[in-house]
Amino acid sequence: MGATIKDIARETGLGLATISSYLNGGNVREKNRIKIEAAIEKLHFEVNETARGLKTNKTKIIGIVIPELNNIFCAEIISEAEDILRQNGYATMLCDCRSDEHREAEAVEFLLHKRVDGLLIMPTGEYSEKLELFEKQKKPVVLIDRKVRGFHGDCVLADNEGATKEAVQRLVEAGHKKIGLIAGPQHIFTASARNWGFQKAMMEAGLFLDDSFMVCGDYTIKGGARAMRKLHEEHPDMTAVLVSNYEMTVGAMIEINESGIQVPGELSVIGFDNLEFARACSPKLSIMTQPTREMAVAAVRILLGKLQNEDGKEVETVILPTTYVGGRSIRDIK
Amino acid sequence: MGATIKDIARETGLGLATISSYLNGGNVREKNRIKIEAAIEKLHFEVNETARGLKTNKTKIIGIVIPELNNIFCAEIISEAEDILRQNGYATMLCDCRSDEHREAEAVEFLLHKRVDGLLIMPTGEYSEKLELFEKQKKPVVLIDRKVRGFHGDCVLADNEGATKEAVQRLVEAGHKKIGLIAGPQHIFTASARNWGFQKAMMEAGLFLDDSFMVCGDYTIKGGARAMRKLHEEHPDMTAVLVSNYEMTVGAMIEINESGIQVPGELSVIGFDNLEFARACSPKLSIMTQPTREMAVAAVRILLGKLQNEDGKEVETVILPTTYVGGRSIRDIK
DNA sequence: TTGAAAGCGCTAACAT
DNA sequence: ATGTTAGCGCTTTCAA
């Protein structure tokens, strides 16, 4: 089908090594360079990356494993990461594991089998056996958003603890004392960090609440709705609630709408992520947002770094700040 | 690093062809099969797909090009497609072109260069030069959601015309006459089909409205908000509005919230896609939804079919029905 | 700087 | 059914 370097060699009368050298940025005599370029143009030559990959043992492909593509947080990170990777000549091979540990392990193996050069992963599972297979092959792995037990690789996180801490502080400043938390599953890294930030801020504010003010959802819309209902039923005196991820925020708003709770009249709310959703809520929701763009940029930077300098051995952990975006969902009761 | 078929040949004392035959499902004597399997186990052998690809000229990778990953409609389709593809041994190489024609062309070329076996694309651009490069190489291309001028390949669409038609009918049944449309950019295939469905249904209902009842947004949140504002200002007598894609629905709801329009008291609304968002709105939004799952399934089915039987030459166009999901955003004014 | 030749790991044609 | 061999398109010694 396409032309090969042999064709270019024949066309130019040069040897294979010269063509290869040209293709890889080596030194080639000016007039030969011109000849080669003319031949490439004429024959529509394109390097066969498969053949190159066989020889170099590099595919120029990065694997990305995520829990849910239908999750705006994941989608934003991937779309940014893919963009930068492609600008650097790397293709992105995507695996969505539907928040299933088993599928996640399969995906990691699948990508290893496809011989990707490196891995970007937002872990679902708690353990890391499969990730170690990558490290054994000296292929870089960068974790995004969540840490994994037993894996001491590079990692880019949001300041989860800081996010809930700041949210509580905002509510406390507005005079709230009975503050509920819709938490995530405690075995998930981000969820326990956010939980901890909440507790810490409450303690620092001198507020001591019953554990029943913290209800664990499962990071899903349904779970958020269920948790909201439970909190509201058990604590009619609760004046504010903090929801600790985006899906649960949607769920909480559904429940709030469907059961006719007035925001912020009866209940103040701080949600999580997705500014557009927050704006579409009535009244506009106050939220904590994570820096998805920056997280992607940092993760790809680290990955490309490892890919280029095999030497750079220090493990990096980047923690990026979250941002409070005010709406009209907090009532001042001071 | 890893073991090769040579190692397996040496370990078992068999020839390369036998091992290769085994790996490709050929006939191998029972006792040899056992020997081979033992050797594979022992040496942790895994086929090197790069080498296989070099030989067979197949990568077992499908390219996917989409306008925006941060678009739940795209994300749902991809996540489903990726799942099925992976079950069939195909990896998914993703390119997000940010709704930019130029980037889209680059992405298609990039994937061709990466030698993917086939392409799934939700086109952004109007033309198809780059797609023809695939066809020239006998590599299958399936369009999803949108058609492209000058390209006569397989195609999976939602019933765009039917969607807006049904929406209008629902509004008409509820007694509405002055119905606005927040349309998409008319050069986009889906937008003009939806527009046409709207007009047709209005005519069939004997309702003739000024063109100014149809405002073109640009399929973005901001555009939806802007269009909503314009419609509302120009037509205070309008009793219902139909928004023709998801992003603009979010935008319209933002505008409705921010300018304090009562739904459905002052204005009835039918939105588009994303049931979860609809439920989170207050009152729950009535919407038309597209069958993302089914669209992905159909597209992958066609693609895999073409990949297996080089012969199957008939071009398929699949049109899948949309669904109305009722909420509380339509007022009965009969 | 350039050419010749070997070889990456696999498949496939041919011979046995 | 199995072994032998050539070759996919490239990179990379090694010599010149």
Whether residues B164 and B242 share a domain: the answer is: yes
- For residue B56, give the nucleotide whose C1' atom is nearest its CA: C11
| pLDDT, chain A, mean | 93
Instruction: Indicate the pLDDT class of residue B15, thresholds 50, 70 and 90.
Output: confident
CB contacts, 8 Å: A281 with chain B: 257, 280
Q: What is the pLDDT of residues A120-153, one digit of tens each?
A: 999 988 877 889 999 888 899 999 999 998 888 8
For residues A88 and A77, what is the distance between their CA atoms, to the nearest angstrom? 17
pTM: 0.93
Chain A, nearest residue to B91 by Cα: A93
Q: Evaluate if residue B90 carries a pLDDT over 70.
A: yes
CB contacts, 8 Å: A69 with chain B: 69, 75-76, 78-79, 82
- The shortest C-alpha distance from B39 to chain A (Å) reads 18
Whether residues B266 and B182 share a domain: the answer is: yes
Range of the domain at A145: 57-158+292-321
Mean pLDDT of B148-164: 94
DSSP conformation letters of A56-121: HS---EEEEEES-SSSHHHHHHHHHHHHHHHHTT-EEEEEE-TT-HHHHHHHHHHHHHTT-SEEEE
For residues B54 and A220, what is the distance between their CA atoms, to the nearest angstrom? 44
- For residue B54, give the nucleotide whose C1' atom is nearest its CA: D8
Whether residues A137 and A194 share a domain: the answer is: no
Other C-beta atoms lying within 10 Å of the C-beta of residue A26: 10
Residue A334 lies inside a defined structural domain of this protein: no
Whether residues A221 and A109 share a domain: the answer is: no
Mean pLDDT of B305-315: 80
Q: Evaluate if residue B309 carries a pLDDT over 70.
A: yes
Whether residues B202 and B130 share a domain: the answer is: no
Nearest-CB residue to B92 (from A59, A94, A115):
A94
Residue A331 lies inside a defined structural domain of this protein: no
Mean pLDDT of A241-250: 96
Whether A91 contacts A117, CB under 8 Å:
no
CB contacts, 8 Å: B259 with chain A: none
Residue A31 lies inside a defined structural domain of this protein: yes
Whether residues B204 and B261 share a domain: the answer is: yes
A54 Cβ contacts chain D strand, under 7 Å: yes
Task: Report pLDDT for B28.
Answer: 84
Q: What is the pLDDT of residues B176-212, one digit of tens each?
A: 999 999 999 998 999 999 999 999 999 999 998 899 9
Tell me if chain A has a CB within 8 Å of the CB of B185: no
Tokens of A120: 């970007």
For residues B258 and A276, what is the distance between their CA atoms, to the nearest angstrom? 13
- The shortest C-alpha distance from A13 to chain B (Å) reads 26
Whether residues B105 and B67 share a domain: the answer is: yes
Task: Report pLDDT for A152.
Answer: 87
Q: What is the pLDDT of residues B248-277, one digit of tens each?
A: 999 999 999 889 999 999 999 999 999 988
Tell me if chain A has a CB within 8 Å of the CB of B50: yes
Q: How far is CA A90 from the centre of its chain?
A: 18
Whether B289 contacts B322, CB under 8 Å:
yes
For residues B329 and A84, what is the distance between their CA atoms, to the nearest angstrom? 42
Tokens of A333: 């009761």
Whether residues B92 and B191 share a domain: the answer is: no
Residue B326 lies inside a defined structural domain of this protein: no
Counted domains in chain A: 3
Instruction: Indicate the pLDDT class of residue B1, thresholds 50, 70 and 90.
Output: low
Mean pLDDT of B75-94: 97
The CATH number assigned to the domain holding A20 equals 1.10.260
Task: Report pLDDT for A162.
Answer: 98
Q: What is the pLDDT of residues A299-334, one digit of tens each?
A: 999 999 999 876 667 899 999 999 999 999 999 998
Q: What is the pLDDT of residues B20-62, one digit of tens each?
A: 999 988 788 888 899 899 999 999 999 999 999 999 999 999 9
- The shortest C-alpha distance from A179 to chain B (Å) reads 22
Residue A329 lies inside a defined structural domain of this protein: no
| Of A3-12, A112-121, A323-332, the least confident | A3-12
Q: Evaluate if residue B310 carries a pLDDT over 70.
A: no
Residue B137 lies inside a defined structural domain of this protein: yes
A4 Cβ contacts chain D strand, under 7 Å: yes
| Of A71-75, A174-178, A228-232, B241-245, the least confident | A71-75
Residue B327 lies inside a defined structural domain of this protein: no
Mean pLDDT of A219-234: 95
